């Protein structure tokens, strides 16, 4: 297996792990916490789950970004001057979606999920009150909604990536030959006549 193939596998597996973590929050962590016998156990299960989820999801996105950037650098070297002409537009869309995904994931991990555990620690030390049940429920609803947004963004990024791969695979000489033939045939001229 070459270095480029290994890099591609790392990239794909990190995407899969990230996507799986998002599905696990919606269909495993939150439902498991909701089935807890009381509020203390519910919060404890959320804290334990998010203690794994937060660094894992951010870490997987980091691996995706780094492995993608490394592969893009290799692709740029291979394509030389055709790089921006062939994949510039989908690349710009993909990068915009990727940075939006990173911002939303950071908000989920540090703006919402981390705060649940942190506020419990503050309350345990007597430095402030714990979140109320309504506050925790509100945060979980926002987490669930934002995780769905990340799932949709992940799917969109993958679709744009497929477009990039298709454009990168096109031979650079194919498009000019087609457009050159079209330029030779006068408008309104039918070659079958």
Contact call for residues 121 and 114 (beta carbons, < 8 A): no
Asked if 105 contacts 149 with a C-beta cutoff of 8 angstroms, the reply is no
Summarised one tens digit per residue, pLDDT across range 147-179 is 999 999 999 999 998 888 887 777 555 444 344
Which helix (DSSP H) or strand (DSSP E) does residue 26 occupy? none
Residue 180: inside a domain = no
Q: Is residue 32 part of a domain?
A: yes
Contacts (Cβ under 8 Å, ≥6 apart) of 129: 123
- The answer to whether residue 88 is domain-embedded is yes
Tell me if 17 is assigned to some domain. Answer: yes
> Is residue 187 very low, low, confident or very high in pLDDT (cuts 50, 70, 90)?
low
Which stretches within 35-132 are classed as H helix? 39-79, 83-106, 114-124
Identify whether 179 is part of a domain: no
Question: Is 65 within 8 Å of 105 (Cβ atoms)?
Answer: no
Question: In angstroms, rounded to a whole number, what is the distance separating the alpha carbons of residues 42 and 27?
Answer: 15
**Do the domain assignments include residue 191?**
no
Answer whether residue 182 is part of any domain. Answer: no
Region of 128 please: left (phi>0), alpha (psi -120 to 50) or beta.
Answer: left
What six digits make up the tokens of 65?
């970004």
Find the mean pLDDT for residues 74-89. 80
Closest Cα partner for 47 from 115, 106, 111, 104? 115
pLDDT tens for 109-149 read 999 999 998 888 888 888 888 889 999 999 999 999 999 99
Does residue 190 fall inside a structural domain? no
Q: pLDDT tens digit string along 22-36?
A: 999 999 999 999 999
Residue 96 belongs to domain spanning:
3-169
CA gap 76, 113 in Å, rounded: 38
Q: How many domains does the chain have?
A: 1
Residue 168 CA: distances (Å) to CA of 3, 54, 82, 97, 191:
19, 35, 9, 19, 33
Q: Does the predicted model carry a pTM greater than 0.75?
A: yes
What is the distance between the alpha carbons of residues 18 and 15, in angstroms, rounded to a whole number? 5
């Amino acid at each position: 297996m070459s270095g480029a193939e290994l890099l591609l596998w790392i990239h794909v597996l990190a995407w899969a792990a990230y996507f799986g973590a998002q599905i696990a929050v919606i269909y495993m962590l939150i439902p498991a916490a909701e089935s807890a016998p009381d509020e203390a156990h519910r919060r404890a299960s959320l804290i334990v789950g998010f203690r794994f989820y937060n660094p894992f999801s951010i870490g997987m996105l980091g691996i995706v970004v780094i492995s993608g950037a490394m592969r893009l650098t290799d692709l740029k070297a291979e394509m030389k001057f055709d790089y921006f002409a062939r994949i510039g537009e989908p690349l710009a869309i993909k990068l915009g979606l990727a940075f939006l995904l990173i911002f939303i994931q950071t908000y989920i991990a540090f703006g919402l999920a981390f705060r649940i555990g942190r506020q419990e620690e503050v309350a345990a030390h007597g430095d402030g009150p714990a979140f109320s049940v309504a506050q925790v429920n509100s945060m979980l609803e926002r987490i669930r909604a934002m995780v769905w947004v990340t799932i949709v963004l992940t799917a969109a990024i993958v679709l744009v990536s497929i477009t990039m791969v298709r454009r990168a695979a096109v031979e650079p000489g194919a498009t000019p030959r087609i457009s050159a033939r079209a330029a030779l045939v006068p408008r309104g001229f039918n070659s079958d006549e």
